[in-house]
Amino acid sequence: MNRNIHWTTTIGAALVSLGLVTQAAADTATLRTVSAFNSGTAIPHTFEMFLEEIQNDPDAPIEINFIGGPETMPPFQIGNAVSNGVVDMAFVTSAFYTSSLPAAHALNLTRYSPEELRETGRFEQLQEMWREQMNVHYLAYTNYGNRYHLYLNEPISGPELNGLRMRITPVYRAFVEAMGGEAAQTPPGEVYTALERGTVDGYGWPVQGIFDLGWQEHTRYRVDPGFYHVEVGVLVNQNTWDNLTDEQRDYLTDKAIWLEELNGLNEEINIEEERRQAEAGIEVIEFEGEDRERFLETAYEVQWERLAQEHAENTERLREILDSE
């Protein structure tokens, strides 16, 4: 698979350069697209398959003008960019745009797969919320099944971090603090140096991707079980979405469902990542029985509580969609 995807428009380039959807003579719309993640790494691999699927379809009513990854736009600006129509489509995790949609990263806590969300009508409720508050159409939920883990350089005997300094993101800050860890929010690009110098004792990260960053070189333990699900969404500017034809919207929706089906690859990928980590000398600290139950219960409850403290109205609405029976 080509990891350096770059396509340019063939019709209406002037309009595309202004961030506007282009309606070509053959009724083809061209979408300016950006990703929050570097091409060729673990997180965007299925999204890249999605882009290639459209690119290689001679009958596609959609064309993609892929601008690039974080080298072209800072990840925390991408939510605003797609909301305001600077780009038409974006591949971005909800944790990067909580300033636009508070508590959006509750998506990581879902008890339902994307397929189940769609089957029960919950996905439409999410789309309504994203449309109302962010002016985007939430097209697809990727990376479900890729769970977060804690990685350490000091062993622990139970679900307590006892003052260990952990590199975190907002997704699991509350969890780390509830276990007695000290939270340190550090950009991913600085984590390798922090591990190398011993200024952090560990970090949270999905089971996939630590080899992309070289962190396995300074990691001794992975804590099992994993918790939460990674969520990276495909968002389309709402004005762009509304200006598409029915055929174009149906086409993108069908491809989005195909993309979500690729989440099923994560089980096999996770096994391979665990094998590679073991080969690299990373030992597993596995909680069982009551410790396992307490670890997972704490992970979910403290994050829901933290989200409710930060934005009660959105959290209540999201918990009803993502966590209710």
Domain boundaries, the chain: 29-145+230-267, 148-227+273-323
Which residue would you say has higher pLDDT here, 185 or 126?
A: 126
What is the C-alpha to C-alpha distance for residues 119 and 109, in angstroms, rounded to an integer?
A: 18
Mind listing the pLDDT tens digit for each residue in 141-166?
A: 999 999 999 999 999 999 999 999 99
Q: Specify the CATH superfamily of domain 29-145+230-267.
A: Bacterial extracellular solute-binding protein, family 7 (3.40.190.170)
End-to-end CA distance of the chain, in Å?
40
Q: 88 or 14: which carries more pLDDT confidence? A: 88
Mean pLDDT, rounded, for 83-106: 96
Residue 112 CB neighbours (<10 A): 17
Give mean pLDDT, residues 50-65.
97
Looking at residue 211, what is its pLDDT? 96
How large is the average pLDDT for residues 115-131? 98
Q: Do domains 29-145+230-267 and 148-227+273-323 have the same CATH topology?
A: yes
Its CATH class, for the domain covering 148-227+273-323, is alpha beta
Residue keyed to tokens 């089971």: 207
pLDDT for 13 beyond 70? no
Residues 6+ away with beta carbon under 8 Å from 264: 145
Residue with tokens 């990685």: 151
Give 188's pLDDT tier (boundaries 50, 70, 90).
confident
Residue 18: pLDDT band (50, 70, 90) is very low
Average predicted confidence (pLDDT) for the chain? 92
Are the C-beta atoms of 30 and 12 separated by less than 8 Å? Answer: yes
Residue 115 has pLDDT above 60, yes or no: yes
Query: What per-residue confidence (pLDDT) applies to 3?
Result: 40
pLDDT tens across 202-225, in order? 999 999 999 999 999 999 999 999
Beta 62-68 vs 182-185: how paired, if at all? Answer: unpaired
Mean pLDDT across 24-46? 88
| Paired tokens of 315 | 């959290």
pLDDT at 22: 47
| Confidence bin at 25 (pLDDT 50/70/90) | very low
Query: Is the torsion defined by CA of 214, 208, 50, 78 positive or negative?
Result: negative
Q: Are 75 and 36 in contact (CB under 8 A)?
A: yes
Mean pLDDT confidence for 259-285: 97
Evaluate whether 169 touches 176 at the Cβ level (below 8 Å): no
User: Is the entire prediction scored with pTM above 0.85?
Assistant: yes
